[in-house]
Amino acid sequence: MARTDRRRVVVTGVGLVSPLGVGTAETWDALLEGRSGIGPITKFDTAEFESRIAGEVKGFEPERWVEKKEVKKSDLFIHFAVAASQMAVDDAGLAIDEGNADRVGVVIGSGIGGFPMIERTHSTLLERGPSRISPFFIPGVIVNLAAGQVSIRFGARGPNSAPATACTTGLHAVGDAFRLIAHGYADAMICGGAESAITPIAVGGFSVMRALSVRNDEPERASRPWDRDRDGFVIGEGAGILVLEELEAARRRGAPIYAEVVGYGMSGDAYHISAPHPEGRGAVSVMKNALADAGLEPEDVDYVNAHGTSTPLGDLAEVKAIHAVFGDHARRLAVSSTKSSTGHLLGAAGGLECGILALAVRHQVMPATINLDEPGEGCDLDFVPNEARPAEIDVALTNSFGFGGTNGALLLRRFS
């Protein structure tokens, strides 16, 4: 049974900046064509690095979205957030003015924040001394300034926060925004995640953890969730931002509706700082929590946009968790990982994938898991291999899991 004790919430706008394109249509079209956004790293010299590939955003011009004199005052993850938020707000046709500003909020997080600006400023400190540090350094790098800058840009004076829950950040931001509207604290929210951490320290740090793929000679084939030859994730960057609105408010202004948000779950593994529980214990809990929140049964779900990072342990744990939650229905589920095309956007991944899920429900198409040649041992679900699939999607789920065992799951339903 659907929940009736809270306000209904719908997705009315989507803005995506990803390795597949600067824009929602560009990203979606590339996904449906099965393209990869992974290539050699161009941001720094990778000669001494074991992993030399990433999902960089190509052709992004910060000056198009941020006033030219302001660009150097903030990090790239903030620029991505501003750009994707502008896209989402424009897509929703949402006007924010004195009449509604106090009821429109922002929840945008980042897993890491301003690494590029931090690294540049550290070099300035060592080479030129502390007096040459920019006075804009701190507000240019801290995680909550993506939400802060977006709030300032649009004059949104409602709830404002910035989760930082590693790779679950973007999904937690969307889920938190959903609850704020559902329980009456806001009427509309701009929400999601942004990240730009393709830097020497970040790539070096993930590399020494043995987390990154080293398929450097075939970057476009390096992100291969559930494939027998997967060898780690590919770091990516970008932003995924949604506009959520209370249903009746959206209807009154004739807003476009992608899907209805019907359930949100959170959980913790309480197991390890970076590895998932081998049986996917936290993943099981979070999916069950989302289903309970929505008042839905496992059999109601048609499609799962999985966390699916392309790591040996993580991919298998998620498969085990899906079997545990969905039982016999798991064999009828379609499960794909769009990280096969985009790489892993860390704190932005959940926002990007919530946006992709909304597009999938609206257009009734399941994006593919590309690079899936032969599933690995224990990887035995329908992973929508290599080609997008038109299908009837009434209810869809997306998962995000982060270091420290922090988990999130969100359920969308076709709007009627």
State the CB neighbour count (10 A cutoff) for residue 2.
11
The Cα 332–Cα 381 span in angstroms is 8
List the catalytic residue out of 167, 191, 354, 379.
167
List the catalytic residue out of 79, 172, 277, 307.
307
- Assess whether 323 carries a catalytic annotation: no
List the catalytic residue out of 79, 277, 323, 344.
344
Tokens of residue 347, six digits? 């704190």
Tokens of residue 201, six digits? 């320290």
- Assess whether 363 carries a catalytic annotation: no
DSSP states of 206-267 as a string? HHHTT-B---TT-GGGS--TTBTT---B-BB-EEEEEEEEEHHHHHHTT----EEEEEEEEE
Long-range contacts of range 291-295, CB-CB < 8 Å, 24 or more positions apart?
291/263, 291/265, 291/325, 291/411, 292/263, 292/265, 293/3, 293/262, 293/263, 293/264, 293/265, 293/411, 294/2, 294/3, 294/262, 294/263, 294/411, 294/413, 295/1, 295/2, 295/3, 295/262, 295/263
State the CB neighbour count (10 A cutoff) for residue 50.
13
Tokens of residue 22, six digits? 């600067």
Helices (H), 8-144: 24-32, 76-92, 115-128, 137-141
Separation of CA 353 from chain center: 5
Tokens of residue 351, six digits? 């926002």
- Assess whether 344 carries a catalytic annotation: yes
- Active site (catalytic) residues: 167, 307, 344
